[in-house]
Structure 1
Amino acid sequence: MPSHQPTAGMMAVDPAYVSEQPSAASKPAPKEPVRNTKYDPKKPHITETPMTKKNWYKHVNWLNVVLILGIPLTGLIAAWWTPLYWQTAVFAVAYYFATGLGITAGYHRLWAHTSYSATTPLKIFLAAVGGGAVEGSIRWWARDHRAHHRYTDTDKDPYSVRKGLLYSHFGWMLMKQNPKRIGRTDISDLNDDFVVVWQHKHYLKVVLFMGLIFPSIVCGLLWQDWLGGFIYGGILRIFFVQQATFCVNSLAHWLGDQPFDDRNSPRDHVITALVTLGEGYHNFHHEFPSDYRNAIEWHQYDPTKWSIWAWKQMGLAYDLKQFRSNEIEKGRLQQLQKKLDQKRSKLDWGVPLEQLPVMEWDEYVDQAKNGRGLIAVAGVVHDVTDFIADHPGGKAMIKSGLGKDATAMFNGGVYLHSNAAHNLLSTMRVGIIRGGMEVEIWKRAHAEGKDTVMSKDAHGNKIVRAGSQPTKVFDPPASANAA
């Protein structure tokens, strides 16, 4: 159902999809581009004209409206008077999966992403059943899909979900699109594939035969259900396989998790996978598009992956591409760390050490004697005034450390405080002690720009990992003031 044909100018080289090019001397003569002869790139496109009450109908792609909505609606009405035999129902479901695989395994993973290679018999089969899904020619479909990957969620994305869920589902086909606004991609490999070129040139014949005539012939010759084959195996089966495929453009960008990257909209969800023959693990797919799999776990539903693997065992497919598990796990770990950093940024970790004022020891002791509840642990001064009454160990215990070096007391001399206690203590920081303490040395080195051992999150903020609070000393020094 092509609503336009790309121009020669829209076939610029895309490094994401192009292999090594031959030298200028060895290049063959340029081929005449395969495109709609009625398309005039110099003529203003209807989309460049504002939609009004008088011209709205010119913005509608009426051919696609008939194919996507009109014919299925007619089929639903006709089904009311057409009996459904069990043989026809079984065939319609089987042909639904076959034509669905023509899109997922053929149009998508073989031709759009070249995630594996196929022999000529398999290519012909996938081009035929893919045509039976009535979703456009391989060349048109793969060209737009490559643009979708290269320009995801931008104005150059032909079915960006940012324009609305219904738009990304089928609105982009029901309304005319300006081909000059769609991002450029290289499809020279498709123009060199004789199966793709043949199907593109004879697309309407392929659609009529594989979409409607073939299912009618099968049901008619085998059990004399010509009309049922046309309605259920043809029209309604086309409707359901189209809607399933459209969910990859809409539902897979709206429902689910983003375990590998959340910068763009693609998501993973088992429901989308069930609907789309395994294309629902879309976040993985957008990160690793040349992988022949969408689902990488054994328990995830991906019949397209299993079919490609089975074809390999039969000698029909080869060169199945997979990203190394090491790279996949790196991406997963980086996204987990990013989510942790986002959560960490919302929590109170206390005033950073480098922002704390420096206090003389005598000043610290003097303030504590004058009623301020100050306690020093590992050179960091904390104001525990409001916490004394809530101290789990009792008021007397915490008061015994006021105005003293309570490092040993806090780290096992009296009680080996938990990680939670150290985290809570960090929110009470008010200063650091001058006098050669490790914290002051670290602060001075940091101010001078010297190398310091420190972990930082994605925003450049210091990461305080479990057990790494500066007040946590694993081998605390002896302190005369600890008792």
Structure 2
Amino acid sequence: MSSHSTGSCSEDEHQWELQWKAKSKQSIFQTWWIPGLGMAYAHVMAVVAIWYGCSWHVLLSTLVISQSCLLGVTAGAHRLWSHGSFRASTPIRLFLAITQAVASQGSARWWAQRHRIHHRWVDTEFDPYNSKRGFFYSHIGWILERPKYNPKVRLIDLRDIDADWVVRWQRTAYPYIVIFAGFIFPWILGWAHGDPLMGFLWFGPVARVISWHGIFFVNSYCHWKGARLFDNEISARTNGFLGLWSMGESNHSAHHVFAKDYRHGIMPYDIDPAKWAIWVWAQLGLVDRLYKFDDHIIQQCALETSIEQKRQQLHALEQQHAQHMESAKGTSYFMPPVHTLPVWSMQKLQEKAEAEKGGALVVVDGIVHDVRKYLPSHPGGVALLREWHGRDATEAFYRGLNIHSKAARILMARMAVARLLEDEETESSEKEG
């Protein structure tokens, strides 16, 4: 839904793909040390930065840098170049290309290519961050694994991205931007704040680590936990509490269903800073052609998904109830099904009531209940129940004397001993009882 295809595989490609899948299942995880060491360096230095401490204005500047990086990834590499959710002017494209490179998550072209593969083959062996391989793998493990050739790469059409000179320029300049923004610029900005080392630690490693995990949690947690709001068949979920950190990417359930929509937070109240930024740029005339899914389709998806979830919940509750009732068999908690009760005529009920002067046979809804054991516990007293011995107390039970709770109705049902003969029932039914 979010990417382009150059055509279907040939027979040779299909055979090669099957061989690749077989090898992938047999292969073990092989660490790719280059990004592994880089990630380890950044996280260790981030810990050192916390130990070193920082001033409030350095912390604020760090958050601004990390969120700018995230904006470059979310509004740039993701919504603009991966999905074509809007059209941007040259100044905005340059801004997004630079901030996306500062984030050090791969060039915009590299990022978009893998993201298009992710959408087309989500949660399969071809998905770069396949959530079925576990939380760690989809979060960060996929970066640390030595890359293997993915046959699906050949099916991803990147001509629209390659036609953008800003993307071509960024791809060439990417390593230089990463080095300058990660090692040189933090010293300079730190010197301006009065502490070059503090600036190096916080504006470099800490800002990168914050922006990395803001995206990584979308790949991992948002395919593991959260609300499925628009489709029950995909693993993508929405987690509002990650909204600010991920610049709105955590509204992931909506994104995987309405991939081209520039709004990941479809609803007005959804936290989606990237959506807000794109909207503001549109008001300023810096971007246009903002793609939005039809509201009727969105509402239909939401309602159908909710209905299906309610059905699944009801089915689970019915199974749980059936198991609960089954477990009561052979105990004092067992509630006999009505159709298994013996059938009494009103005459037989009166004969039994006459024979059992101290009894308490009470009729409610055509069912005879022997409530003698409950007499001492009855909140209304013993005399009240004995008054209805051998009589129909339906009106009194529901309206006349008290509005009984569900617990009271269940308790009474456990004391059922017979059902009264109905007009359509034959005399033989009574004799069988």
| Map of 1:275 onto structure 2 | 245
Are 2:174 and 1:207 equivalent residues in the alignment?
A: yes
Conserved in 2, the CA contact under 8 Å of 1:364 and 1:374? no
Give, in whole Å, the separation in 2 of the partners of 1:435 and 1:304.
Answer: 69
Structure 1 residue 112 displacement after superposition: 4.1
Structure 1 residue 251 displacement after superposition: 3.2
Bigger fraction of residues in helix: 2
Are 2:85 and 1:98 equivalent residues in the alignment?
A: no
| Map of 2:12 onto structure 1 | none
- SS of match in other structure, 1:275: coil
* TM-score, with structure 1 as normaliser: 0.62
Give, in whole Å, the separation in 2 of the partners of 1:40 and 1:262.
Answer: 29
Alignment of structure 1 residues 85-124 onto 2, 5 Å? 92-114=62-84, 116-121=85-90, 122-124=92-94
Alignment of structure 1 residues 378-457 onto 2, 5 Å? 378-382=365-369, 384=371, 386-418=373-405, 421-422=408-409, 424-426=411-413, 432-436=419-423
Conserved in 1, the CA contact under 8 Å of 2:107 and 2:174? no
Are 2:313 and 1:346 equivalent residues in the alignment?
A: no
Conserved in 1, the CA contact under 8 Å of 2:214 and 2:245? yes
Give, in whole Å, the separation in 2 of the partners of 1:45 and 1:61.
Answer: 21
Quickly say closer, same or farther: Cα 1:339–1:312, change in 2 above 3 A.
Answer: farther
2:292 alignment partner, one of 321, 326, 347: 321
Conserved in 2, the CA contact under 8 Å of 1:117 and 1:318? yes
- SS of match in other structure, 1:245: helix
Quickly say closer, same or farther: Cα 1:176–1:314, change in 2 above 3 A.
Answer: same
Give, in whole Å, the separation in 1 of the partners of 2:55 and 2:400.
Answer: 83
Quickly say closer, same or farther: Cα 1:423–1:45, change in 2 above 3 A.
Answer: closer
Conserved in 1, the CA contact under 8 Å of 2:260 and 2:291? no
Give, in whole Å, the separation in 2 of the partners of 1:427 and 1:109.
Answer: 61
Give, in whole Å, the separation in 2 of the partners of 1:63 and 1:285.
Answer: 32
Are 2:96 and 1:126 equivalent residues in the alignment?
A: yes
Gaps of 5+ in 1: 1-15, 22-28, 31-38, 441-483
| Map of 2:271 onto structure 1 | 301
| Map of 2:159 onto structure 1 | 191
Conserved in 1, the CA contact under 8 Å of 2:2 and 2:82? no
Conserved in 1, the CA contact under 8 Å of 2:3 and 2:82? no
2:140 alignment partner, one of 157, 170, 174: 170
Quickly say closer, same or farther: Cα 1:260–1:97, change in 2 above 3 A.
Answer: same
| Map of 2:330 onto structure 1 | none
Alignment of structure 1 residues 63-78 onto 2, 5 Å? 63-70=34-41, 73=44
Alignment of structure 1 residues 260-271 onto 2, 5 Å? 266-271=236-241
Conserved in 2, the CA contact under 8 Å of 1:165 and 1:250? yes
Quickly say closer, same or farther: Cα 1:138–1:359, change in 2 above 3 A.
Answer: farther
Are 2:296 and 1:312 equivalent residues in the alignment?
A: no
Query: Percent identity over the alignment?
Result: 28
Give, in whole Å, the separation in 1 of the partners of 2:119 and 2:337.
Answer: 45
| Map of 2:364 onto structure 1 | 377
Structure 1 residue 145 displacement after superposition: 3.7
Structure 1 residue 427 displacement after superposition: 5.5
Give, in whole Å, the separation in 2 of the partners of 1:314 and 1:60.
Answer: 46
Structure 1 residue 100 displacement after superposition: 0.4
Gaps of 5+ in 2: 8-15, 326-333, 426-433
Alignment of structure 1 residues 223-234 onto 2, 5 Å? 232-234=202-204
Give, in whole Å, the separation in 1 of the partners of 2:288 and 2:262.
Answer: 11
| Map of 2:10 onto structure 1 | none
| Map of 1:13 onto structure 2 | none
Return the letter of the residue paired with 2:300. E
CA RMSD of aligned residues (A): 4.9
Return the letter of the residue paired with 1:393. G
Give, in whole Å, the separation in 1 of the partners of 2:122 and 2:336.
Answer: 39
| Map of 1:246 onto structure 2 | 216
Conserved in 1, the CA contact under 8 Å of 2:227 and 2:237? yes
Give, in whole Å, the separation in 2 of the partners of 1:87 and 1:394.
Answer: 74
| Map of 1:5 onto structure 2 | none
Aligned residues: 396
Structure 1 residue 271 displacement after superposition: 3.9
Return the letter of the residue paired with 1:321. K
Give, in whole Å, the separation in 2 of the partners of 1:383 and 1:287.
Answer: 58
Give, in whole Å, the separation in 2 of the partners of 1:155 and 1:402.
Answer: 71
Give, in whole Å, the separation in 2 of the partners of 1:396 and 1:388.
Answer: 9
Quickly say closer, same or farther: Cα 1:109–1:388, change in 2 above 3 A.
Answer: farther
Give, in whole Å, the separation in 2 of the partners of 1:377 and 1:212.
Answer: 83
- SS of match in other structure, 2:392: coil
Quickly say closer, same or farther: Cα 1:205–1:132, change in 2 above 3 A.
Answer: farther
Quickly say closer, same or farther: Cα 1:178–1:312, change in 2 above 3 A.
Answer: same
Structure 1 residue 171 displacement after superposition: 1.0
Structure 1 residue 174 displacement after superposition: 0.7
Give, in whole Å, the separation in 2 of the partners of 1:84 and 1:139.
Answer: 35
